[in-house]
Amino acid sequence: MAEISRQTSQTGQSLGETAMVPVRLAMGVIDAPLRWVQKKFGLGGMAAFFLLPNMLIFGIFVLLPFFINFAYSMTGGTALFLSDRTFVGADQYARLFDCSNYLNPNTCAEDTFWTAVGNTGWFVVLQVTLMIAVSLITALILNRNLMARSFWRAVFFFPVLLSPVVVGLIWKWILQRQGLLNFGLYGFGFDPHVWLNDRNWAFAATVGVSIWAHMGFYTLIILAGLQAIPKDLYEAAEMDGTRAMRVFTRITLPLLMPNLLVVIVLVLIRAVQIFDEVYVLTGGGPGTSTLFVTQYIYETGFAAQLRNPGLAAAASILMGLVLVVLTLMQLGLSRSRDKKGARK
């Protein structure tokens, strides 16, 4: 028995050794240039060297498009190539901001842009609030000792796997005039309603559908946070006879805050960028009641018969700025939390 064990151990060792050969070879090859970099540029230089590939990808796919987009926003006309376009300075921004009353889009030169801004604002407020609440409640329930807990977790996560187009189509078939919902209502003796033709219901549908489609992902993040909270804290609270609400506000919520902060920022950014499932579900209608900024940019830059890439670029730069502000707010919040944590 001992002999077999020793043989296995020897074989394992030799296999490990064999596997390490190419690694050692590779290390040998890159060792010399790395030593040279460290000698030439110091430790700081080494850090920059390792960051370079990531920075290159970031530069090519994020920074470069941003600057190109900014250049487009300073040009006019319908041509696609930057070289064929006329420099118009800040005219496109001036056109977007040409408004007597920002709260009344009808007084603006680009009324649909401000309608889209207003719709997006409302959508963000409603969707983010409800998404956090629903995801949190769902995570709290799924964290309990439920029967078939894994099954329920899969059920809530399943819509995340669907493509946004599929999500939009499924709900369109449910909510349209001759859809499943009206079929059911009619069956129970109620009058059918054309949900997607009603401004308020259509807007509510966009919020509801986006929550249904994405809450599984956020629930998962919150669930991970809940499971990381030490059980003994709850046991101590139970021994002290602490009420459930107090346990939630004094233990669960504070310890969950880092996860919640991540979720809030992700939901916020996703809400500002909302496009695909809504485009399929309502197409921005009825009228412009579910037209959001991303769809405005798409329609202006690509779908209109005479495209205006400059105006679309200006609108997307403004939207990008909003996203930058939101991200900075998140960074600020998490830093202040870290500092507080360090002081404690």
Question: Interface with other proteins by CB under 8 A: which residues?
Answer: 76-81, 85-86, 88, 106, 109, 111-112, 177-178, 194, 196-197, 199, 282-291, 295, 299, 302-308
Cβ pair 331, 317 in contact under 8 A = no
Question: How would you classify the pairing of strands 75-76 and 86-87?
Answer: antiparallel
Distances (CA, A) of 293 to 106, 187, 330: 16, 39, 22
Cβ closest to other proteins, residue 78 vs residue 227: 78
Q: How far is the CB of 287 from other proteins (least distance, A)?
A: 3
By beta-carbon proximity to other proteins, the closer residue of 198 and 261 is: 198
CB of 147 to other proteins, least distance (A): 43
The structure tokens listed for 107 are: 């007084």
Cβ distance to other proteins smaller for residue 33 or 89: 89
Closer CB to other proteins, 13 or 86, in the complex: 86
CB of 82 to other proteins, least distance (A): 11
Residue 244 Cβ vs other proteins, minimum distance, rounded to whole Å:
46
Report the residue number, 138 or 206, with the smaller CB distance to other proteins: 206
Tell me the closest approach of the beta carbon of residue 330 to other proteins, in angstroms: 31
Q: Is 200 exposed, middle or buried (0-12, 13-18, 19+ CB in 10 A)?
A: exposed
Q: How far apart are CA 157 and CA 154, in angstroms?
A: 5
Nearer to other proteins, 76 or 159 (CB): 76
Nearest to 135 by CA among 160, 156, 112: 156
CA separation for the pair 126, 139 (Å, rounded): 20
Report, in Å, the least distance between residue 129 CB and other proteins. Answer: 25
Shorter beta-carbon distance to other proteins: residue 283 or 320: 283
Neighbouring residues of 229: CB distance < 8 A, sequence distance ≥ 6: 251, 252, 255, 256
| CB 206, min distance to other proteins, A | 12
Identify which of residues 253 and 304 has a Cβ nearer to other proteins in the complex. Answer: 304
Answer whether 128's CB lies under 8 Å from 261's CB.
Answer: no
Q: Tell me the C-alpha distance between 344 and 342, whole Å.
A: 5
Place of tokens 């300073």: 74
Question: Which CB atom, from 82 or from 244, has the smaller least distance to other proteins?
Answer: 82
